[in-house]
Amino acid sequence: MKKAIVLMVFLGIYNSQAQNHSHAGAKPLHYPNIEGYITLKTDLHIHTVFSDGNVWPTIRVLEALRENLDAISLTEHLEYQPHKDDIPHPDRNRSYELALQEAKAHELLIVHGSEITRSPPMGHNNAVFISDANKLLTDKAEDAFSEAKKQNAFIFWNHPAWYAQNPKGYPILSDFQKKRIAKGELHGIEVINTTDYSEESLALALEQDLTIMATSDIHGLIDWDYTEKGMQRPITLVFAKEKSLESMQEALFEGRTVAVYNSLLVGKAKFLNPLIQASIKVNSAKYIANTQILEVELENVSSSPLLFENQMQYSFYSSSPVFEIPALDKYTLRIKTLEEKQNIDLKLKAIGAFTAPKTSPVISWIIPVDK
């Protein structure tokens, strides 16, 4: 009887603590489509207990579903298996199979992938859209890349600026990477990995025509590493012709991506600019009565807070030239046009977006004025 009472008290305290444990839950992510393409929200670099992660593959699926992602890839290290004494698995495809089974009842795409893990200068690379991870487990790194190419994999260079591999935090394009690029065995590069944005990696992406990527590289829980810190996981927006593995793969090979981490957006201008333009919806534009001050209600339909700076000839009324439109929220801008206009060309520099190192795009919206 006493044991039962003690247990009930313990459970009561535990439940009370659990209920009082306050943290913000992960929110579904939303980004608009751009003309000609649908926008797929993806995270193609994540880990589970089948390499050096801390969760079961099904948890990764559930996290992605909660965040409204369209595709994930469980890219377990082929060579690095710290949990093998507790979870022995000679089949390197097992993590993918478990995730695929969990996702069957949902619309989440599971991309078959693995991480080829070696010392510099090769470093770490993800091969995604593979058919058999076991065949990538080779003695020679070159053979792993060659096999991945045979499987028509999309291969990207992971965290090239990681300080654990290069103390300067600067990516080094070695002869190894140059050969892989020349042989069609390296197609993309992470410019954002976990919380790190590398301008130097972006410069390499533009110089070598590599697909721009952002990934969480998650090992623990998304809630612990991102959500409870008030952040979203880094994702790659892929602009595909349809929601399918084949279309997504084609888009990655063609470089149709934007890397996103909270308010940071990085990509080539031909994809980043239309994404930002589509992210801002103009709800209304009308003059305040008996004034030449145009009141414009803007709505951010994306999950990224967007920071802008005025680039027009007109100044703002009761607003700084630099302003933020919160994610999935509205903002009223008052513009001193000096005389009444039938329409206005709203020009704003997207300060938190980059098409090249230290280069932010200027986006334009032609806005008709309400009568």
Torsion angle, CA of 73/77/78/83, rounded to 10 degrees?
-120
Residue 166 pLDDT: 85
Helix axes 94-103, 57-66, angle to 10 degrees: 40
Vertex 218 angle, CA 307 and 130, to 5° = 105
DSSP E strand stretches across 67-167: 71-74, 76-77, 109-111, 113-117, 124-128, 154-157
- Nearest-Å Rg of the Cα atoms of the chain is 24
Residue 371 pLDDT: 80
Please report the DSSP string for 287-327 in residue order.
EPTTSSEEEEEEEE-SSS-EEEEE-SSSEESSS-SEEEE-T
62 in Cβ contact with 86 (< 8 Å):
no
For residue range 24-35, list pLDDT tens digits in order: 567 899 999 999
Residue 13 pLDDT: 37
Residue 16 pLDDT: 39
Return the number of other C-beta atoms located less than 10 Å from residue 68's C-beta.
15
Largest CA distance in the chain: 84
| pLDDT profile of the chain (371 residues), mean per 10 | 40 38 70 98 98 97 98 96 91 97 96 95 95 96 97 97 89 96 98 97 98 98 95 98 98 98 98 98 97 97 98 95 98 96 97 98 96 80
pTM here is: 0.92
Cβ burial, residue 146 (10 Å; 0-12/13-18/19+):
middle
Residue 10 pLDDT: 34
294 in Cβ contact with 312 (< 8 Å):
no
Averaged pLDDT score across all residues of the chain: 93
199 in Cβ contact with 207 (< 8 Å):
no
Cα 159–chain centre separation:
14
What is the C-alpha separation between 103 and 100, in angstroms, rounded? Answer: 5
Residue 150 pLDDT: 98
237 in Cβ contact with 41 (< 8 Å):
yes
Strand partners, 126: 115, 156
Residue 25 pLDDT: 66
Residue 23 pLDDT: 43
Residue 333 pLDDT: 97
What is the C-alpha separation between 151 and 134, in angstroms, rounded? Answer: 12
- Catalogue all structural domains in the chain, each as residue range(s) with its CATH number: 23-262 (3.20.20.140), 275-368 (2.60.40)
